[in-house]
Amino acid sequence: MTKPKDEYLIRPDPHDPRLTERVRGVDQTGEAIETVVTVERALTIYLNAQEIVTAMTIGDHPEYLAIGYLLNQNMLHADDVVTGVDYDEELSVAVVRTERATNYEQKLKKKVQTSGCAQGTVFGDLMEALENVTLPPTEFRTSWLYALTHKINTTPSLYLEAGAIHGCVLAEKDRPLIYMEDVGRHNAVDKIAGWMFKHRVPANDKIFYTTGRLTSEMVIKTVRMGIPILVSRSGFTAWGVELARKANLTLIGRARGKRFVALAGLERIVFDQDLSFVEDESAKHRRKAAVHDD
C-alpha cells in the first residue's frame, strides 16, 4: 500500500514510556503538580575497537545516532562499508564496524567544544571539508516552507509534550520525511545523517529543518550532509551566517507563522506564496516555543 503523501517515514512518539517520566513538584503558587520530563541516557560510541565519545541522548535510534555522529565528525566516510552496528542496551554502547581499518587517536586530541548542548563537538579539520563541498543549485519555494512548518508544528512530539528537547526534520519539497528529536540538537542531526547513510538517500533535493539555533555546528553538519537548504524557527549566530554564505547554503531562520528571515543562499528562494492564505502560528506552539527554543 502506498503511503499518504504527508506521512512521515519516522516521526516522534511522545507516548513512548522510555522517553519521558512523570515527576511531582509544586508550581509558582505552591500547589502540588505532576509534570512530564524528558529522560536522558548516556550512549558510548565506538568505531571498531576505539572508543570515540559518550553522548547524552534520549536513547531512541542509537544505531542511526552512532553512524551519523561518526559521519559528521569525518571519521566515517561516505564510501565506507559498514559491516555492522552492534548496540547493547544494558551497557549503553553502540559499536560501528567498518571494512576500513581506523585509528583516530590523534584526531581525538584536537577536538573543539562548540555551542551545541549535551557535549556537542566539532573537530578543527571539519572546517577544511567546507572548501571541497559544492551544494546543488536547487530551488526552494516559500509555499513549501509554510506547508512544512505547519505540518511540523502540528505533529505530536516530545518538544510539545515535555520540552527540554530539540527536533530536526528532513524534508523533500513540502513533505516532511524524517522527524528526529533529542536533548542535543546535534544528536537529532546525527540521527538523520545516519538514516540517510544507511538507506543511501540522496541529499541534493532535501531540506533540513531544526527547532534550534543556526550555529556554526548546524551549518557545518548540514553542508557535510550535502543538503542545500537549512531552516530554523530560531535565530542565527554570526559565524553560522558567515559559513553558510561561504558554502552557498540557503539559510533561513526565525520561521514562525508568516515570518522568516533569509541570510544566505538567497538565489534559491522562489517567493510563490500569497501570505494572505498563511495562518499565524498557534498560541499553543508560541507558548511552548517561548519556553523551549534554544
Say which residue, 202 or 282, is predicted with more confidence: 202
Q: Could you tell me what percent of the chain has a pLDDT over 70?
A: 86
Q: What is the band of 161 on the pLDDT scale with cuts at 50, 70, 90?
A: confident
Tell me the pLDDT band of 160, cut-offs 50, 70 and 90. confident
Measured distance CA(98)–CA(254) in Å, rounded: 40
Nearest to 56 by CA among 74, 45, 42, 35: 42
Judge whether 4 lies within some domain. no
In which band, very low, low, confident or very high, does the pLDDT at 273 lie, cut at 50, 70 and 90? very high
**pLDDT greater than 80 at residue 127:** no
Rounded CA-CA distance 167/14 in Å is 12
130: in domain:
no
CA distances from 67 to 72, 250, 257, 293 (A): 9, 26, 34, 27
Cα-flanking dihedrals φ and ψ of residue 248, to 5°?
60, 45
Q: Does pLDDT of 117 surpass 90?
A: no
> What average pLDDT does the segment 277-283 reach?
75
- The answer on pLDDT for 121 being more than 70 is no
Read off the pLDDT of residues 137-156 as tens digits, 9 standing for 90 and up. Answer: 999 999 999 999 999 999 98
The predicted structure's pLDDT at residue 120: 45
The three grid cell numbers given for residue 51, joined into one nine-digit string: 572508543
For residue 64, being part of any structural domain is answered with no
pLDDT digits 0-9 by tens, 203-262 = 999 999 999 999 998 999 899 899 999 999 999 999 999 999 999 999 999 999 999 999
Give residue 4's pLDDT.
Answer: 47
Give the model confidence (pLDDT) of 46-86 as tens digits. Answer: 999 999 999 999 999 999 999 999 998 889 999 999 999 99
Grid cell, residue 102, equals 581506523
Report yes or no on 175 lying in a domain: yes
Residue 282 lies in a domain: yes
Q: Does 81 reside within a domain?
A: no
Are 220 and 122 in contact, with CB atoms under 8 Å apart? yes
What is the DSSP secondary-structure string of 130-168? GGG-------EEHHHHHHHHHHHHTS--HHHHT-S-EEE
CATH number, domain containing residue 210: 3.40.140.10
Residues 6+ apart with CB under 8 A from 45: 51, 52, 53, 54, 55, 65, 66, 69, 70, 93, 94, 96
The answer to the question of residue 43 being in a domain is no
Q: For the whole model, what pTM was predicted?
A: 0.86
| Phi (first) and psi of residue 107, to 5 degrees | -65, -35
pLDDT value, residue 258 = 93
Closest CA to 61 of 91, 95, 87: 87
The reply to whether 233 falls in a domain is yes
Q: Closest Cα to residue 185, out of 211, 157, 147, 148?
A: 211
Question: Is residue 26 over pLDDT 60?
Answer: yes
How many structural domains does the chain have? 1
Q: Which domain holds residue 240?
A: 140-292
Q: What confidence category does residue 119 fall into, taking pLDDT thresholds of 50, 70 and 90?
A: very low
Task: Using pLDDT thresholds of 50, 70 and 90, give the confidence band for residue 115.
Answer: very low
Residue 282 is predicted with a pLDDT of 61
